[in-house]
Structure 1
Amino acid sequence: MLGKSVASPLLSASPRPSAPDISTTTPNNVPLNVNLSDGLPPNAIRVPWSSHVYLKKWAIYSTAQVQSITLNDEERKKWEACRQALSTFNFSTEEEDKILGKAFGHIHSPYWSEERKRETPELETVSEILGYLRNLSLSDDDILKLLKKFPEVLGCDIEHELRNNVQILGKDWGIEGKSLRNLLLRNPKVLGYNVDCKGDCMAQCTRCWVRF
């Protein structure tokens, strides 16, 4: 199996002794429960893993919003492959799930408004975007910071948004090289801008150049 364990670190469990051992049995639909709080809630319950792990009914005891991501076997393999692509940045499993969830519509993000449909992340897409960010002279530490601020970048269109916007920044604003790096670390959402209301508000402020 690629990547890390499917279970997120904040999951708590109520054991069902009669269920089969997941070390030998893989369910058709694997739930990924993602806690949207920034840290471990004070009333969350940690359950240590052992060599005798059974299928469980997962729940997070928190007042924070919780999203459940359910994947079939094929989708799970793609998800774990994308997790592996993010592993170089030393995110936790929970952080990787949040990044992919927000980028591909599994976790609500105000950035997308209501336009983002759920998609299964593809390794080719994620790798291409990470490679493009590296080509902008961003170090892995820079990309880590960028992904924390703007995980939705992995769900943006690399040609019509990322490449196009970098060209606009260079051509219209003379922002290149070190200045571009500093801008992207300060305001990475500029990579996803695709609206210019030119004074006539189009109610898409999260993706409008007016914010720049």
Structure 2
Amino acid sequence: MLGNSLASPLATLASVKCYHHSAADLVTYTNVLPLSLNSSSYHGVIGGVRMTRVSRNKWRVVCSTTQVETSSENPKTWEECKEALSCFDFSVEEKDKILGKAFGHVHSPYWTEERVKETPKVETLNQILEFLRGLGLSDEDLHKVMKKFPEVLGCSLEEEMKPNIGILENQWGITGKSLRNLLLRNPKVLGYNVDCKGDCMAQCTRCWVRF
């Protein structure tokens, strides 16, 4: 907290400008009248908001939630999908972030530039979760998978996940507990959809060469 020696109100905001970054939980405010602090860097709380002073006239507000631009056309559908994740013990912010990364509402390097914003469908979400449970993954396992690789919910079940599991089982002989352990260690294998065979196609995040 800010020291008691600071006068109240703690600061006055004038001509506030906000810069929202799609992949960060930071909002930067400029033109903030400086507090009477000698230090060039200061961490404190103003009006219940955590703030970091980065220069004399510049403060960084550290937000506790992730800004996710959800579809205004189907807010009910988004909430239904969040409800489908309730059994995995995620916070509200984590659910928004997982769905955001999976369906193009939050930038993710995994998709490069190919992912366009999409409204998730709870039916498709449940099909993916049931498929993964059928591979021997418990809800605790699925929590770890989605934490490590939230984009899994945006991968195609028929065109990517099922064929990839077939490759792992039939070509590599990876089944049962070995398959479960692999998915916990490297869940991105569920979304591989190219194999450059050493001749780079600039799609490294989704290439079998990483396997």
TM-score (normalizing by structure 2): 0.71
Superposed CA RMSD in Å reads 2.7
Report the Cα distance in structure 1 between the residues aligned to 2:123 and 2:47, rounded to whole angstroms. Answer: 36
Contact 1:34 1:97 in 2 (8 A): no
Contact 1:36 1:65 in 2 (8 A): no
Higher relative contact order (CA 8 A, sep 6+): 1
- In the superposition, relative to structure 1, how do residues 179 and 114 fare at CA in structure 2: closer, same or farther (>3 Å)? same
Q: How does 1:81-160 map to 2 (within 5 A)?
A: 81-160=80-159
Report the equivalent of 1:80. Answer: 79
2:85 pairs with 1:69:
no
Ranges in structure 1 where 5+ consecutive residues have no aligned partner: 1-32, 48-59
Report the Cα distance in structure 2 between the residues aligned to 1:199 and 1:61, rounded to whole angstroms. Answer: 44
1:6-33 deviation digits (Å, cap 9, x = unpaired): xxxxxxxxxxxxxxxxxxxxxxxxxxx9
Q: How many angstroms does 1:62 deviate by?
A: 2.5
SS at match of 1:69: coil
Report the Cα distance in structure 2 between the residues aligned to 1:112 and 1:153, rounded to whole angstroms. Answer: 11
How many residue pairs get aligned? The number is 164
SS at match of 2:171: helix
Q: How many angstroms does 1:95 deviate by?
A: 0.2
Report the equivalent of 1:187. Answer: 186
Report the Cα distance in structure 1 between the residues aligned to 2:46 and 2:146, rounded to whole angstroms. Answer: 26
Instruction: Find the structure with the greater CA-based Rg.
Output: 2
Paired residue type of 2:93: E
Contact 2:70 2:105 in 1 (8 A): no
Report the equivalent of 1:9. Answer: none
SS at match of 1:164: helix
Q: How many angstroms does 1:187 deviate by?
A: 0.3
Contact 1:99 1:152 in 2 (8 A): yes
SS at match of 1:200: coil
SS at match of 1:106: coil
Paired residue type of 1:167: G
Contact 2:68 2:100 in 1 (8 A): no
SS at match of 2:195: coil
Contact 1:34 1:98 in 2 (8 A): no
Report the Cα distance in structure 2 between the residues aligned to 1:66 and 1:124, rounded to whole angstroms. Answer: 25
Report the Cα distance in structure 2 between the residues aligned to 1:167 and 1:114, rounded to whole angstroms. Answer: 27
Q: How many angstroms does 1:160 deviate by?
A: 1.0
